[in-house]
Amino acid sequence: MSRTKFITGLLSTHPALEIRARELAHHYSLVRLRHAPVSGYFLQLKNEGLELNCMDKKDNGPVRVDFVGGTLGHRLRFGGGRGQPLARAIGIKPGFDPSVWDATAGLGRDAFVLASLGCRVTLCERSPVLAALLDDGLKRAALNAEIGAWIESRMMLEFDDSTVALANLPDADKPDTVYLDPMYPAGKSSVLVKKNIRAVQQLAGEDRDSLPLLDMALTVAKRRVVVKRPHRAGPLHDRKPDTSIESKKTRYDIYVTL
């Protein structure tokens, strides 16, 4: 299936999208997000990739999934390797790279870090706009001489609701670790959050159904479930984890299922 057709197909499932298929077919698209809570954004497919733009001119720059340059390229080179808190939380050990189901893929930043360290990661995202951005970012990164080979073999995208997709996974495909990074409720400082996080918050909304997702994750993960939390927040739905690993702004709560 052509890239344009794939993206059009994904986006047509989103009730809040007005799709200008003719322009998409010409590889230069303008897709407006019509209704609240996503009004004020539009998508464009340019030569540099698919990008989400904000109509508000003050909001500087588009949101694109860029696994090659930008902050992710920097994190790849200087991110702390296999000793970083995320890697330890997921269960990466010398000689062992767990398979990971990233149940809340978002813009794929955490999944990218884990794949760069050796994990095979399934990125599951239910927002069609974010899934389309991810698909585009993965396809462009797969063409990169430096990282393309492992992007293609270790990062798989699923456009689905993880609670449903995990429930339907055959035993042979069950991952060692399920990773959850549900959206935090927007706080007082939300005007200050970075543009890409703000865009994800507005597109995906609050994750009100993270309790059934956590329950499903706990029944499917072969070894552990890891939940990313803000430093000062309590555990997700007050479920006490077996242990936690802290970093500067984040805590990873670990639920052992082995």
Ligand X SMILES: C[S@@+](CC[C@H](N)C(=O)[O-])C[C@H]1O[C@@H](n2cnc3c(N)ncnc32)[C@H](O)[C@@H]1O
Residues β-bridged to residue 157? 123
Among 130, 141, 221, 225, binds ligand X (CB under 6 A): 130
Nearer to ligand X, 59 or 161 (CB): 161
List C-alpha distances in Å: 105 to 58, 94, 167, 200: 27, 25, 17, 11
Please report whether residue 75 would count as binding ligand X according to CB under 6 A: no
Determine if 162 is a binding residue for ligand X (CB under 6 A).
Answer: yes
Residue choice 97, 176, 181, 253 for contact with ligand X (CB under 6 A): 181
107 binds ligand X (CB under 6 A): yes
198 is in an annotated binding site: no
> β-strand 224-230 against 121-125: which pairing, if any?
unpaired
Mark residues 205-224: x for contact with ligand X by CB under 6 A, - for none.
Answer: --x-----x-----------
Residue 89 engages ligand X in binding (rule: CB under 6 A): no
* CA 173/CA 175 separation, integer angstroms: 6
Q: Closer to ligand X by CB, 31 or 129: give it.
A: 129
| Residue 110 counted as an annotated binding residue | yes
Number of residues that bind ligand X (CB under 6 A): 22
Count other Cβ atoms within 10 Å, centred on residue 218: 15
176 assigned ligand-binding residue: no
Among 91, 98, 108, 241, binds ligand X (CB under 6 A): 108
Contacts of 253 (CB under 8 A, 6+ apart): 226, 227, 229, 235, 236, 241, 244
Q: Which residues bind ligand X (CB under 6 A)?
A: 103-104, 106-110, 124-127, 130, 161-163, 181-183, 200, 204, 207, 213
